[in-house]
Structure 1
Amino acid sequence: MWPSDWPSSARAIATAVEAAVAAARSADEPGFRETTADLAELPPDQVTAVLAAIVRELLETAHPDGLTGDDVRAVLEAVVRRSAAWLRRLDAAAVFSALAGALGIDEAQDPDHARTDPQPAAILLIDYLADLTRTPPQESVQRAISEIARAETVEMP
């Protein structure tokens, strides 16, 4: 289903993201935990780049005139409410961290607070935003990976 010219790591990331979003869509907590654990086994920098690109694109689609603080708050609240209904150990701070990271905001980390993995939270953001924008997640995954590949091949002047 994914382009055959993609490297195997890109295809693995795309497949894992698609499976995790499907588990979130069906509110399948065991499936979500399993698929996000599979995602965590892949190269973290590459996975983070793909997830951030997808979240950014979906935010731009949902808010074509720009994103306000109220928009960010509304997205965070909606994702937490939607996910808390089926995900018992939801970490709202991780949702904020994933959203901030996708927006390029380097949040200060409290040294006494253990850093949580934002990847599962990014999947929850993708699920919500894809639903909100009526964008098939597979299309967002494909565009994100293609854009990352394109950016990596562009020569700097």
Structure 2
Amino acid sequence: MSTPPRTTDPVALTRALTRAVAALGADDPEGFEAASVALAAMDAGQVRTVLGRVLRGALEELHPDGLDADDLRAVVQRCTRSAPAWFPALDPQLLVVALVGALGEHPEEGEAPRAPHEAVLRHGLLLAADVVPRTGRPLRAHLDAALAEVRRAETVEMP
């Protein structure tokens, strides 16, 4: 008998993402740890999809004419410089993996370091804490838009 896929409650996902990003902004390592552990326990695909859509939406708002390599490099450099000193195992390569994944691209085998879901997730949260406030819209607005897009995509029938 196969195990049914895990689903994540959108309210719990929204709360955990909000807590994680707020903890980064408040320099709260304990709050970040608790929220990121809660997120890591949720369905990885769903968490990646929503966080990726949040990041992609924010980046598209900030760069309406499109992103280029210099824009992406600047995001990674800014996140690396602004990361809290307590951020566990900050790795600029994992910032790139999280950023490129949010844009829907996935590196070929061997092009990027293999890392556990939780490590990439934490780096994605760091990106969200840096990028989303620059849009001038609250994280909740980005989360609502991402969840609406996920719901819309789930209702579209495949041919």
TM-score by length of 1: 0.87
User: Kindly tell me: are residues 53 and 113 of structure 1, through their superposed partners in 2, closer, same or farther at Cα, counting changes over 3 Å?
Assistant: closer
1:5-154 correspondence to structure 2 within 5 Å: 9-110=9-110, 113-116=113-116, 117-154=119-156
Distance 2:112 2:83 in 1: 26
Letter in 2 for 1:64: P
Letter in 2 for 1:136: P
Letter in 2 for 1:105: E
The answer to whether the Cα contact below 8 Å between 2:93 and 2:113 also exists between their aligned partners in 1 is: no
Superposed CA RMSD? 2.1
SS at 1:155 equivalent: coil
User: Kindly tell me: are residues 155 and 71 of structure 1, through their superposed partners in 2, closer, same or farther at Cα, counting changes over 3 Å?
Assistant: same
5+ residue gaps, structure 2: 1-6
CA drift at 1:36 = 0.6
Q: Aligned residue for 1:3?
A: none
Distance 2:88 2:115 in 1: 19
The answer to whether the Cα contact below 8 Å between 2:24 and 2:32 also exists between their aligned partners in 1 is: yes
User: Kindly tell me: are residues 88 and 44 of structure 1, through their superposed partners in 2, closer, same or farther at Cα, counting changes over 3 Å?
Assistant: closer
Distance 1:102 1:155 in 2: 23
Letter in 1 for 2:90: L
Quote the sequence identity (%): 35
Letter in 1 for 2:142: S
The answer to whether the Cα contact below 8 Å between 1:54 and 1:140 also exists between their aligned partners in 2 is: yes
Deviates more, 1:104-113 or 1:40-49: 104-113
Letter in 2 for 1:130: V
Q: Aligned residue for 1:4?
A: none
CA drift at 1:84 = 4.5
Distance 1:28 1:109 in 2: 35
The runs of at least 4 consecutive aligned structure 1 residues that moved more than 2 Å come to: 108-114
Distance 1:78 1:112 in 2: 20
Distance 2:148 2:30 in 1: 30
5+ residue gaps, structure 1: 1-6
Letter in 1 for 2:31: G
Deviates more, 1:21-30 or 1:85-94: 85-94
